[in-house]
Structure 1
């Protein structure tokens, strides 16, 4: 729902100010008393009417009753008189001014009846401010400013809340202009054919889809796909959001839904694109008045989708990042018939995206787009657009003539790990060493377990972090093995483990790492069936079934998994103690160490024998077994070793079975 062009930007503000100024000028002109060209003669009825028009206070100060009026009328002492709507104003020959109330008009009738019977010279009498002397249109003029302002408000409301207009000239975006999302574009080809010729589907008895739902992460290009679909289908395009149906007034949201579908049917073939359709929400129990209004909006939306013919050429296209937030009745078959997932761009798509956005800025000719694409695994097209724009900002900040490769790399790091803050209080040598040990632990475990490609390690603050280890994915993955998740948890715990190994005490710097590791562990235990105890129950299924569940066992299982992986991480760090010392020293010297140096430090370690490596890695488990065996021995009252049976009669002595 868009504003009228007359109300956009400064033009709308200027128009409103002009109309308001005209209303004020009209009001001032209307209420300003008219000044005659020549003053009336003193003592005339015109002079009295002029004085009354200026102010009636001189008469209102003296109130008289009917007897005084009749007495002055009989004695002939009245000089001039004026009949008003609710009073009679009298001026006597000696200059006295008074008034007589006349709410019903009977006093005026009595005066006129006596006036007709007077003999001799009669005093002048006139009408003052009565309906009889005022034209009908002049009675409306005092209310004209208010009426004008009301008409202006109604006009603005109609212009703003005008029935939804569709874009017919196309959106200037086609499928070829949308880079990536190949699967989504392929799925939308059928919809394009239907919108171009809905009668062909109806002739075959085929039921075309009424609604299509686009899902995916934020920034993957769902809105661009919707605009491209409208252009390819040569259909009208109405773009709104899920929150447009909400209103502070009861019943307005339902009328908006009706107006939307009514406008779409008139302009068919038409695509109704509802961005962030999860804003409509789910129906809920009517515990509050707002719940009742929300339920009514959803019910009306469902009724409208069931009401229009599938061959009418109207398609509802929804986009959301949270498909689980939609009402189940809304996404069932017959309403939203298809759900299309818009995925992240692949390697080639990222290369094309960098080339596209780099063409819009003054970029250097030696940009390595292939390397940039490899270093941005998992980023959305919106993130890539931000990276290129931020690189241009960095180049402008450095007063460079063009955007170099270093600017783009710095922009990628900013996108992944945050902006490098300025004016940070210098850290003490003890804190610098602790941060260096922490980040060295992250980097070594990440490289050793191949969690990803270690790009760089730095103890310079970035964003909210005091130090950063930048690890980028090697490939696009949607399927993660249990071993990969365990390796990622160990990488997150490695910073804390390195601190414990060096200082025998941990710090608050591992708080965010523990939070991320706990999320993965809880997901493994409660949703992925990777619990150490072998439990396969999904906590999400339990919640959806509305079954009361004690999550204490799952929390204990996740904690057990974290403790096991922490012990294994500690064992690996002990094996790589020399590399940990080297990377820590290099960080304290240069503050930033490239990932290649981390790999070289691991490669320089002496290769332990398989038996020694297994012994170090199994040390925590063996220590636990020793403690259990010792506790059993202490509690035994009489512990004897059973004799081992000998293979020949000559061999005797105790033995272990």
Structure 2
């Protein structure tokens, strides 16, 4: 029997112990009730039964007096106990003299000892034990203990519900957050977007589909599902998408590629579903996804749950764009600077049907953009030549042009002027293209200033002599990371360059170094950036464009990247030969115009900035002087 008991106790642990104590308590109570026959009850027993009944109905008389267990022990040993009521948190004691008190018993230690027989009277006289399962002593510490127990039980029940509800709320909020319809359709039109003529023409079919879909369905023509706009930062892709929605009177949803990522696994897929459900309910709708390359590509490298989630998001987006659901009246316009980072399945017909390249504005468009933003400034009459400003901003995006106009106002305010003049615009252009004046000239020695003046004079003189552009000015005021600048602008935007033009560009880059060699017999580290750029152009000439002396037309760009590097040795040798020839030609050009070089450098050391007109005047005067000498010698 003992072996069986030990086995059960080992298996069930404290649970069996609690059950045993409960059974013992019940047995003790039953035994006390059955010790005497009811018909043999004495007045004393009847009195004890009355006490037990009173304990079960009202414990208030016992709650007025609290004593410790030592008093209970003495009363038991002195046979002074008539009845003891055992509850969950205390023991109610009635003495023979009808005194009533309670003993706090939170953990049941005293009641367990009482049941185990450790608290016994020495004689044969006993007392009545009463089990009070529903009685609570609500005084003192016991009252707070009971309240704490109730709160703990309630909290233990509510905590899982709160956690599940909170997690569901956060997931639902993240699933719906970030993708909302604009309160009103955009008011922008294509006419409000300056330039981008090719992109506007390509978007005309989309506009017609959203405004007159019957023209397409009647001919059995399927409208484009998605439009992918590519181009550099700030060229106006977002404005074109807004103008498309405005032209069609359609609703507009703007998100980014990172919108689909989520902290919780599986929420990204729900975001895709929610986005298209909202677009279909509010059709016609234009969904604009900026920085679409943030979606990434599907991979199978086994990168764990992150890659798996990305793959599932892209798959769901593919299914929504060209799946079983009808997307009538929903057009997706995506914009990215890196279309090669998009998944190939997204770029196939049926998803993004058409790719539109949004190009930089040309000369006329830049002038219009500058005039448009300058309307908000207080300018100085007709002092500003926006056509000249457009020539000075070749290759800049509309966003940069807007920044230049605002910067011009900041320059005017900094100089204490109340109106923005042309000089302020030119300074703003220099800040955008080169950088702000950094004050580094204060740390330069006289020798360094002289060398920088010769170097920049060499750049400007070669550019003016070869006609590579319009020399606007030469300065030795440090800007950004440059210690001096020769500002050269193009008369018009160019997309194709002849070999002669590229050779001239290299000679301009080599002009500074050769000017130092001519005047000081040695070069300095200031030509490092010039050599890097000249080497890049020269390598492209011989390895991509076929501009080399060997007549080799093979382009290294056709080779895979891992093999192209192995074939660079010959291209580098040809490039070095090209650079040596152009270096000799540049030195000879500067040698023939040495007086002009010295005059420009002297002017720079005196005024720090020399206008381009001064350089052209010095060249004309030197050419006239040389012609006069030649005529005298010829005579």
TM-score w.r.t. the length of structure 1 is 0.73
Contact 1:88-1:101 at 8 Å conserved across structures: no
Cα gap change, 1:82 to 1:441, in 2 (>3 Å): farther
Contact 1:236-1:267 at 8 Å conserved across structures: yes
Contact 2:366-2:398 at 8 Å conserved across structures: yes
In 2: Cα distance, 1:190 partner to 1:125 partner: 81
More helix per residue: 1 or 2? 2
Query: How many residues align structurally?
Result: 547
Residue of structure 2 in register with 1:265 after alignment: 280
* Secondary structure of 2:244 counterpart: helix
CA positional deviation for 1:125: 7.2
Cα gap change, 1:577 to 1:285, in 2 (>3 Å): farther
> Are positions 1:458 and 2:462 aligned together?
no
Contact 1:271-1:314 at 8 Å conserved across structures: yes
What do residues 30-71 of structure 1 show as CA deviations (whole Å, max 9, x unaligned)?
Answer: xxxxxxxxxxxxx954457xx9xxxxxx97xx799xx97995
What do residues 131-171 of structure 1 show as CA deviations (whole Å, max 9, x unaligned)?
Answer: 99999999537987998798678656644541632225112
Residue of structure 2 in register with 1:437 after alignment: 454
Contact 1:198-1:312 at 8 Å conserved across structures: no
Supply the RMSD in Å over aligned alpha carbons. 4.0
Contact 2:440-2:478 at 8 Å conserved across structures: no
* Secondary structure of 2:221 counterpart: coil
Matches for 1:235-384 after TM superposition, within 5 Å: 235-286=250-301, 288-289=303-304, 290-307=306-323, 312-366=328-382, 367-384=384-401
Residue of structure 2 in register with 1:649 after alignment: none
In 2: Cα distance, 1:253 partner to 1:176 partner: 37
In 2: Cα distance, 1:73 partner to 1:406 partner: 112
* Secondary structure of 1:556 counterpart: helix
> Are positions 1:83 and 2:87 aligned together?
yes
* Secondary structure of 1:312 counterpart: coil
Contact 1:235-1:270 at 8 Å conserved across structures: yes
Residue of structure 1 in register with 2:605 after alignment: 588
CA positional deviation for 1:381: 1.1
Residue of structure 2 in register with 1:162 after alignment: 176
| Structure of larger gyration radius | 2
Residue of structure 1 in register with 2:245 after alignment: 230
Contact 1:209-1:310 at 8 Å conserved across structures: no
Cα gap change, 1:225 to 1:179, in 2 (>3 Å): same
494-503 or 449-458, larger mean C-alpha shift: 494-503
Matches for 1:27-176 after TM superposition, within 5 Å: 45-47=62-64, 71=76, 75-76=80-81, 83-84=87-88, 87-89=89-91, 97=103, 99=105, 101-102=107-108, 114-115=128-129, 126=137, 140=154, 155=169, 158-162=172-176, 164-167=179-182, 169-176=184-191
TM-score w.r.t. the length of structure 2 is 0.76
CA positional deviation for 1:454: 0.6
Residue of structure 2 in register with 1:598 after alignment: 615
In 2: Cα distance, 1:567 partner to 1:238 partner: 60
In 2: Cα distance, 1:518 partner to 1:569 partner: 15
| Of 385, 409, 413, the match for 2:402 | 385
Contact 1:447-1:453 at 8 Å conserved across structures: yes
| Of 227, 246, 250, the match for 1:212 | 227
CA positional deviation for 1:266: 2.7
In 1: Cα distance, 2:230 partner to 2:103 partner: 85
CA positional deviation for 1:308: 5.5
Residue of structure 2 in register with 1:5 after alignment: none
311-320 or 205-214, larger mean C-alpha shift: 311-320
Residue of structure 1 in register with 2:429 after alignment: 412
Cα gap change, 1:133 to 1:232, in 2 (>3 Å): same
Q: Structure 2: which 5+ residue stretches go unaligned?
A: 1-59, 118-126, 631-635
In 1: Cα distance, 2:130 partner to 2:100 partner: 23
Cα gap change, 1:75 to 1:592, in 2 (>3 Å): same
